[in-house]
Structure 1
Amino acid sequence: MKYVVLIHSNPDPWGHPTIEHTEAGRAVPQAEREASGRAFDAMLAEISASGELVTAEALAAPTSSTVYRWGDGGHVVTDGPYAESKEHLAGFFLLDCATRERAESLAARFTGPGDTIELRPAMWGDGEDA
C-alpha cells in the first residue's frame, strides 16, 4: 500500500534540510542536529534497500509557486503561496509499505523540530479510497 509523507514547515530562509532553517531546529545543539541527520540518512538507506521508498522531493520556496483556481469566469492564475498559514509543504516522500502500522512507524521518524508531518494513504493503485 502506498502512503505519502508530507512535510510541512516554515523555514526562514527557505531551505533543506528544514532543521537547519527553522527557529526550532536552530535551537537544537549542532551535535544533536548532526546525529539526527545521520539517523535520517540511515532510515533512508533502510527504506531504499527494502524497496519501501518509491520517490521523494524537496520543494522550492512557496513564493516560487503559481496557484490555479476556478473563478466565475474560468481559470484564475495568481502567484503563490496558496497557504494562508505560516507552514507550507516543504517536501514529500512516497512510501510503499506492507501495513499502515509500518507507514506510521516510518512517518514518526520523519518528525523534526519546526516540522509537522502528515501521513496520508494514496487513493488509487493499491491504496485506500478513503
Structure 2
Amino acid sequence: MKYVILIHSNPQPWGHPTGDYLAAYQELPDDVRKRLDAEFEQVMSELQANGELIGGEALGDPAAARLYRWEDGSPLASDGPYSEAKEHLAGFFLIDVENQARAEEVAAKFAGPGETVELRPTMWPGGDDQ
C-alpha cells in the first residue's frame, strides 16, 4: 500500500531540514537533537534498505507558491500556498509498505518538535487505494 507522509512546518527563515530552523527544535538539549536526528537517519536507511522508500522532496519557500483557482470560466493565479495558515507543506515522502500499521510506525518517526506530520494513503483515479 502506498502512503504519502506530508511534513507541515513553518521554519523562519525557510530552510531544510526544517527542524534546524524551528525554535521548538533548537531549544532541545543537544543530546535530544542528536538522538532524534539519529532515529530519523535510521528510519530513512531502513526504508531504503527495505525498498519501501519511493521518493521524497523538500519544498521551497511557500512565499514563492502560486495558487490556481477556477473563476469566471478561467484559471486565476494568486499567491499561495494557502489562503490563511501558519504551517505550510514543507516536504513529502512517498512510501510503499505492507499495511497501514507499518505506515503509521514510519510516520511517527517523522514527527518532530514544531512540526505536524500527515499520513495519507494514495489513490488512483476511480477511487481504488493503491
Q: 1:102 and 1:38 mapped to 2: Cα distance? A: 20
TM-score by length of 1: 0.91
Higher deviation after alignment, 29-38 or 100-109: 29-38
Q: Which amino acid aligns with 2:64?
A: S
Tell me, what secondary structure is at the counterpart of 2:54? strand
CA RMSD after TM alignment? 1.8
Q: 1:80 and 1:99 mapped to 2: Cα distance? A: 34
Report the alpha carbon displacement of residue 83 of structure 1 after superposing the two structures with TM: 4.3
Where do residues 50-61 of structure 1 align in structure 2 (5 Å cutoff)?
50-61=50-61
Structure 1 contact 25–114 (Cα < 8 Å) conserved: yes
Alignment identity in percent?
51
1:100 to 2:130 alignment? no
Structure 1 contact 12–22 (Cα < 8 Å) conserved: yes
TM-score by length of 2: 0.91
Where do residues 104-115 of structure 1 align in structure 2 (5 Å cutoff)?
104-115=104-115
Q: Which stretches in structure 2 are left out of the alignment for 5+ residues?
A: none
Structure 1 contact 107–117 (Cα < 8 Å) conserved: yes
Structure 1 contact 5–118 (Cα < 8 Å) conserved: yes
CA pair 97-12 structure 1, distance change in 2 beyond 3 A: same
Q: Which stretches in structure 1 are left out of the alignment for 5+ residues?
A: none
